[in-house]
Amino acid sequence: MSAATNPSEGQNPYAPPRARVRDVAAPSASLVLAERSTRLGAAIVDSLIFSAMVYIPMLVGMLIAGMGSSSDDPSGAFVLLGMGLAFVGFVVWTWLTLKQMGATGQSLAKKYFNIKVVHTDGSQVPLSTLILKRNVLTWLLSIIPLYGIIEVLFIFSEQRQCLHDKMADTLVVEA
């Protein structure tokens, strides 16, 4: 046996490795993580934007059609008009959001709050990853009881990543 592999000559075979190992790669030094409160504010504003573009037109359409319809069949006209306006609002919101996310990695509110989503190495995230891994997967998992609470509690980690950020390998940083 050689001296390097013989345990009786000073090397402990049960000693931990001497190599420096890191579990998680640290983000680039140029990336400044977005504040938790800023992310919360952006999420609230995004919800308000969606509501203003989808739910408010639906309610206005139902009210307008409800006032002008006959008392014999008020439900048919206002439901149709309200749903039509909600659909148009949803299409416009989707177009604006996808356009913004594809170009900069920001939702409408993230643009306002000057934060964006990037990969953990700092590179731009493809639109497909933003939609599928961060939004659709989270939406599907939300059928699990208490998932939403657990998901957002992950933001209190050192990297300030919610569970959807960890699944998509993304960070939210200052733009």
Query: Could you tell me the residue ranges of all domains in the chain?
Result: 32-174
Reading the block at residue 149, the tokens are 């609470």
CA-to-CA dists, residue 34 to 59, 67, 78, 118, 171, angstroms? 35, 47, 43, 11, 9
| pLDDT at residue 72 in the model | 58
| pLDDT at residue 8 in the model | 55
CA distance 125 to 116: 10
Q: Which amino acid is at 45?
A: V
b or e along 42-70 (b: 16 or more beta carbons within 10 Å of the residue's beta carbon)?
Answer: bbebbeebbeebbeebbeebbeebeeeee
Does residue 129 carry a pLDDT above 60?
yes
| pLDDT at residue 13 in the model | 83
Instruction: Read off the pLDDT of residues 135-152 as tens digits, 9 standing for 90 and up.
Output: 898 889 999 999 989 988
